[in-house]
Every structure is written in C-alpha cells, then in structure tokens.
C-alpha cells in the first residue's frame, strides 16, 4: 500500500544581486544544494519581490518568458534564459485554496522575473520543473500576506513547492561598497530578531514591523513581504523554519535563507560571499 505523500518543502531565499545567477558562491551553492536535496516538485510557486503590483495575480501561461527587469548590468546577465514551463491549471488551484481572497489569472503580461530565475537557475538548473509566480498585492496590509501564506500551505500536500524570494534586510541607499560581506549594526539587530522569530515562532512575524530598526532595514516593503508567506507556511506546519544559509552584503543587505520541512543539505565550505552588484547605475535605480 502506498503511504501518504510527504508535504513538499518551502523556502525563503534571500536573492541579493541578480549577478548571483552567474556566480558560484556560498549563497548560490546553498540554493543548488537545497534544490538537489528536496523531492522533485510538481511545480514551484514563487512569490517574488519583483512582481509587486496593485492586485493579486498568478501567471497562467504555458511558456512564461524570462524577464530581465533590471538596468546597467553586464550583457551576460541579459543573455540568461530560464525556459521552465508554466502550469496554467495551477492558477485555479491557488484560487481555490486562498478563498475568499480573489486571485486573477495573468495569461500574457508577466513571466519569470529575476527574483525567480536568479535563484531557480541554481536550485533547478535544468529548468524542467514548472514554475508559476504569484504577485505581491501592494494594496494589502501585512496581515493579508501572512494569511495568504497560511492558505498556500495546503499546496504542499499537492506537490507544490512555495518559494519566497526577497531579502530580510534590503536598503539600497545605505550600501557601503567597502563592506562586501558585512552588515551594519542595525542590519544585524533586525536580521537577528527575524531569525529568532522565523525559527522559533513564525506566526509572530508581524511583530517585526514594530522593531526599532524596521524602517532602516526595510525602507520599502516589497523585498520583505515574501518572508511573510513562508512564515505563514511555517506557522501552519506547527514548527519553526530552518536556516539554510545566512550572511550580509555591502552592510545593508541580508542574504538569509530559510526552509520549511526540508533537511539541511551539505554546503560547500570556503566559497565566497554574495555576487557584486556590477551595475553602472545606482543600486536603487537598477531594480536590484
């Protein structure tokens, strides 16, 4: 007799610079190790910081395009194509599990942005697992996003891996080029508190909005909100999230990554830090 199918793991991946797509470092290696260690998903549903719009929508095309939604980077990054298939039928399943919230199906306007493909190019390098994106609704309060994460947890029993892609600390205007692998004191304080909440009591993640360093660490919400989806999934699982890898870049970026329901993969030692930004534009203008 066949036993019950185990719940698919979920993850929050701190994606940092899109240049991480092209490099092997301790973060991209962690994403690769995570993808190799988990069961093959039926599909990956990504909540990316870079699809931040005034609606809740899900991609519903059979062949989502690779979106190069950044500026000033080397041509090699614009040449990346992540040709994973979509899974149009998943749109209806998502709509079902999040009721009464309304979700629109996007058939042609979006695709896979760099918050998605810059990490999946390592986690699933063959691009043979269907990928769907769920937008972050900019009009909704934090409670909505945590609640959506809790509802999306039901998809884990259907073979769907939910991935949040953003950064716990993401202040591009505060970047210090002289600290490529370090974090400012305020970044570390906030990141430490976030780690404690995510690993011990993820259902309380909304308390981070009251942290005294919140607005330095999170001057705009879009990179932080994907964490709430994974916190919701962790809370529904009844356990804390695990730390896949953590660290800092340029003083004001946290590269912390969390998993739910996944064993800790073996990570390579001695690899370098996060990829350099390598954009000729100011980071805040490059859509990092």
Q: What CATH number is associated with residue 124?
A: 3.40.830.10
Enumerate the H helices of the chain as residue ranges. 26-37, 75-78, 90-97, 114-123, 142-152, 185-200, 214-217, 225-237
Q: Which two tokens stand for residue 115?
A: 């918050």
Assigned domain for 52 exists: yes
2 in any annotated domain: no
Quick: pLDDT tens for 146-197: 999 999 999 999 999 999 999 999 999 999 999 999 999 999 999 999 999 9
Structural domain total, the chain: 1
CA 221/CA 168 separation, integer angstroms: 10
Q: Please state the rounded mean pLDDT for residues 68-80.
A: 95
Give the residue-averaged pLDDT of 71-83.
95
Per the domain annotation, does 5 fall within a domain? no
Q: What percentage of the chain's residues is helix, strand, coil (to nearest 5)?
A: 35, 20, 45
Cβ neighbour number for residue 37 with a 10 Å cutoff: 14
For the segment 211-222, the average pLDDT, to the nearest whole number, is 98
**Residues contacting 153, CB < 8 A, separation 6+:** 10, 162, 232, 233, 236, 237
Domain assignment present for residue 131? The answer is yes
Contact 216, 190 (CB under 8 A): yes
The mean pLDDT of the chain is 94
Q: What is the pLDDT of residue 4?
A: 58
Q: Sorting pLDDT into bands at 50, 70 and 90, what band is 1?
A: very low
Q: Distance between CA 8 and CA 276 in Å, rounded?
A: 32
pTM of the model: 0.95
What pLDDT is recorded for position 169?
Answer: 98
Instruction: Give the pairing type, strands 10-14 and 257-260.
Output: antiparallel
Residue 228 has pLDDT above 70, yes or no: yes
Asked whether residue 214 is domain-assigned, the answer is yes
**Which range (108-112, 140-144, 173-177, 284-288) has the least confidence?**
284-288
Within a domain: 4: no
Q: Please state at what angle helix 90-97 crosses helix 142-152, rounded to 10 degrees.
A: 120
Q: Tell me, what DSSP letter sits at residue 132?
A: E
Share of the chain above pLDDT 70, in %: 96
Confidence of residue 272 (pLDDT cuts 50, 70, 90): confident
Range of weakest confidence among 3-7, 71-75, 184-188, 281-285: 3-7
Residues 235 and 10: beta-carbon distance below 8 Å: no
Residue 285's pLDDT is 78
Q: Is residue 1 part of a domain?
A: no
pLDDT confidence band for 277 (50 / 70 / 90): confident
Residues whose CB falls within 8 Å of the CB of residue 65, separated by 6 or more in sequence, listed in order: 111, 112
Domain that residue 167 falls in: 10-285
Instruction: Please report, for residues 71, 180, 256, the alpha-carbon distance to residue 28 in angstroms, rounded to integers and kept in the order given.
Output: 21, 16, 12
* Separation between Cα atoms, residue 222 and residue 174, nearest integer Å: 17
Mean pLDDT across the stretch 128-146? Answer: 98
pLDDT of residue 201: 98
Q: Which of the four pLDDT bands, split at 50, 70 and 90, describes residue 282?
A: confident
122 assigned to some structural domain: yes
Predicted confidence at residue 276, as pLDDT, reads 75
Q: What is the pLDDT of residue 268?
A: 64
């Amino acid at each position: 007799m066949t036993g019950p199918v185990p719940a698919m793991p979920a993850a929050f991946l701190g994606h940092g610079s899109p240049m991480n797509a092209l490099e092997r470092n301790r973060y991209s290696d962690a994403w690769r190790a995570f993808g190799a260690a988990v069961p093959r998903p039926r599909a990956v549903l990504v909540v990316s910081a870079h699809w931040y719009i005034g609606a809740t929508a899900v991609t519903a095309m059979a062949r989502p395009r690779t979106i190069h939604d950044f500026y000033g980077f080397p041509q090699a990054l614009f040449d990346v194509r992540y040709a994973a298939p979509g899974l149009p039928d998943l749109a209806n399943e998502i709509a079902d599990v999040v009721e009464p919230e309304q979700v629109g199906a996007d058939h042609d306007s979006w695709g896979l942005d760099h918050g998605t493909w810059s990490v999946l190019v390592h986690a699933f390098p063959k691009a043979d697992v269907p990928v769907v994106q769920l937008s972050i609704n900019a009009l909704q309060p934090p409670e909505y996003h945590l609640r959506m994460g809790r509802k999306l947890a039901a998809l884990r029993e259907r073979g769907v891996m939910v991935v949040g892609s953003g950064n716990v600390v993401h202040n591009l205007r505060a970047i210090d080029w002289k600290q490529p692998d370090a974090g400012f004191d305020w970044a570390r304080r906030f990141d430490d508190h976030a780690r404690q909440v995510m690993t011990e009591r993820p259902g309380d993640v909304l308390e981070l909005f009251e942290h005294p360093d919140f607005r330095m660490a999170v001057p705009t919400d879009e990179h932080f909100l994907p964490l709430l989806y994974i916190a919701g999934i962790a809370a529904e699982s009844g356990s804390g999230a695990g730390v896949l890898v953590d660290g800092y870049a340029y003083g004001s970026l946290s590269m912390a990554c969390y998993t739910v329901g996944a064993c800790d993969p073996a990570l390579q030692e001695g690899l370098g830090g996060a990829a350099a930004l390598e954009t000729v534009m100011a980071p805040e203008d490059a859509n990092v």
